Amino acid sequence: MKPSARQAEESNRTLNRRALLLGGGMGAMIAVLGGRMRYLQVDQADAFQLLAEENRISIRLIPPGRGLIQDRNGKPIAANEQNYRVVITREAAGDVDLVLRRLATIIPMTAEELAATAEEVKSLSAFVPVTVAERLNWTDFSKIALNAPALPGVVPEVGLSRRYPLDFDFAHVVGYVGPVSEKDLEGVENPDPLLRIPKFQIGKIGVEKWMEDTLRGQAGAKRIEVNSAGRVMRELERQEGDPGANIRLTIDADVQNFAQARLGEESAAVVVIDVTNGDIICCVSSPSFDPNLFVRGISHTDYNALTENDHRPLANKAVSGAYPPGSTFKMVTALAALEAGATTEETKVSCPGYIEFGDRRFHCWRRSGHGTVRLERSLAESCDVYYYDIAQKVGIEKIAEMGRKLGLGQRYDIPMSALTEGNMPDKAWKLEKHKQDWRIGDTINASIGQGYVLASPLQLAVMTARIASGRAVVPRLVRMVQDKDVPVAEAPVLDIPAEHLAAVRQGMNAVVNDDAGTAKGSRIVDPMMAMAGKTGTSQVRNISASERDSGVISNDDLPWERRDHALFVGFAPVDAPRYAVAVVVEHGGGGSVAAAPIARDVILRAMSHGLPSLEAYPASQRGRIETMLQELPLRYPVTGMVPIRTKA
């Protein structure tokens, strides 16, 4: 069919009209697209630019170097050492299993470690480096570097890790660091972003934990560009952090080492305090452990060996152990009685070997009795009946008050873990704790540091320091932070009459230096260094009625864990006290035999440069002492005997 010219013209006009309509519609759509472009790229540009930067830039923290811990003279206790390690990245390695097998022929790796590493590598993104081995020695480390061509994807790296060069000596005081755990983050409001770094190490116990904020330092940061998969493309900017502050403790590492060696394998603790300023010179708990094991991640075998040991190496007995102070508490009772006027230096008490209150009979440790006893002799020979007598006159409240004045029953502010408060009981305490009234028998027991009275070796050392100085000495552990002295104010004078303290000190002098004294065997004969003190033997079991009648069984016949604790507190030099010492030997038997000799050796060591001079020991003991000293497993064997340390 052939349309007419008019029809053709008509249809052509329709087509043109429609084409123009289409053109208009398309133009409108293009205008919409242009408008949208303007909205996104001009109006919203800033917001999107920010989003693009957030996509692109990632901020990684640079862990700061951890502050060092040193002894009072600057000897390193906790240091950061170079840690040689190897990492592997999957994308560069290709055949991970093959490369790891080759690696295992160069460095020591067990089959399990090999499998675990291979698993980890495969579970992570191809470009994430995985640590294969750490703490390699230099030989292995260089072997890997040499064999690099055969080990694609394996990169040797150097990092910093914590090391404790004095291992056993400071395990309890300084503690150790370990990787951050979920538990560490619990309850922390705004955790330092550093804690989120995988395997970042923080203090777990001891000074490392309690001075974490000082030691950690400020994180540095680097701005890096990452791609969509998180791979680092380049570093844009770097800001180094501030390393943590170095800490100097008050402890003398040499004295600490000597004390640790002197305690040997005993389950025991010894604390020495400088009575002039409260500096803790040594604080030792035995047996100890190697904190480096924990930094590396302790094996099950090692850990079980530590927890199953009945001498409890993990416990810091010096500050956490709460022991009945036994007769070392008698100074408190005496001072309370003197203050209350319940006794005087001259008051005489008759000791028939026991005392009766109501229907109960309380025995003196010497069944035959001491006869007529005055204050000095009551301390020197440790007469129990004397204290039973004055205690029931003065009452528990005054005794407890005196105990607290001398530093018992309270926790000191020092950066160590598991500080015990001990216990200084009174009537209110017993009513609250046991829902019972205080009885006279409780006072009798407390008067000789038994029953409810508990104290840690640190508290006993503080008590002794306060008696020796007449001042409210407060112990301190940190001497300097970042080369700046931590200020120490002179301790205030105790409100105890000087003559009372003098009387008690005279009694303590007699304990050691009187021929009838309980610790006469641990005398220091050098008058410049003479020691005063008090022995203690505290029962760890209840004495049964039958035992009471038949006489107490000798300690030697008992199993170890039921034997008495041996205690000794002392100070030296007698006429110008400088150091106070407290020793507890768990289940050691008598204080005079098991504890006093240790106290003498350690306090002598504190007063000397190097090993104590044999001149200080009674002539009859020198041969034995010399052998003992020579056989001590000291870290830095000291040659020759050096004269007395000059008074500071």
Binding site for another protein (CB under 8 A): 1, 3, 7-8, 10-12, 14-16, 18-20, 22-23, 26-27, 29-30, 32-34, 36-38, 40-42, 44-45, 47-49, 51-53, 55-56, 225-229, 233
Q: Which of 22, 185 has the CB closer to another protein?
A: 22
Residue 229 beta carbon to another protein: minimum distance, rounded to whole angstroms: 7
Residue 226 beta carbon to another protein: minimum distance, rounded to whole angstroms: 7
On the CB side of 159, CA atoms within 13 Å amount to 20
Rounded CA-CA distance 586/582 in Å is: 13
| 3-class DSSP state of 123 | helix
Amino acid making up residue 384: D
Q: Which of 22, 98 has the CB closer to another protein?
A: 22
Residue 232 beta carbon to another protein: minimum distance, rounded to whole angstroms: 11
Q: Per DSSP, what are the bridge partners of residue 268?
A: 286, 585
Q: Which of 33, 486 has the CB closer to another protein?
A: 33
On the CB side of 299, CA atoms within 13 Å amount to 3
How many residues are listed for the chain in this entry? 648
Cis peptide before 573 (omega within 30 of 0): yes
Residue 20 beta carbon to another protein: minimum distance, rounded to whole angstroms: 7
Spell out the residues 6+ positions from residue 617 whose beta carbon is closer than 8 angstroms to its own.
Answer: 524, 525, 625
Residue 2 beta carbon to another protein: minimum distance, rounded to whole angstroms: 8
Q: Which of 33, 305 has the CB closer to another protein?
A: 33
Q: Which of 21, 486 has the CB closer to another protein?
A: 21
Active-site residue numbers? 327
**Which 8-state DSSP code applies to residue 271?**
E
Rounded CA-CA distance 546/359 in Å is: 16
Q: Where are the beta strands (DSSP E) in 89-209?
A: 130-133, 154-163, 177-179, 201-203
Residue 126 beta carbon to another protein: minimum distance, rounded to whole angstroms: 14
Residue 230 beta carbon to another protein: minimum distance, rounded to whole angstroms: 10
Say if CB 579 and CB 281 are below 8 A apart: yes
Place of tokens 């570097």: 145
Say if CB 246 and CB 67 are below 8 A apart: yes
| 3-class DSSP state of 317 | helix
**Which two structure tokens, joined as six digits, stand for 70?**
């040193």
**Which 8-state DSSP code applies to residue 381?**
T
Q: Which of 2, 183 has the CB closer to another protein?
A: 2
Say if CB 458 and CB 412 are below 8 A apart: yes
On the CB side of 451, CA atoms within 13 Å amount to 19
| 565-572: strand order across its sheet | 280-286, 268-274, 579-585, 565-572, 532-538
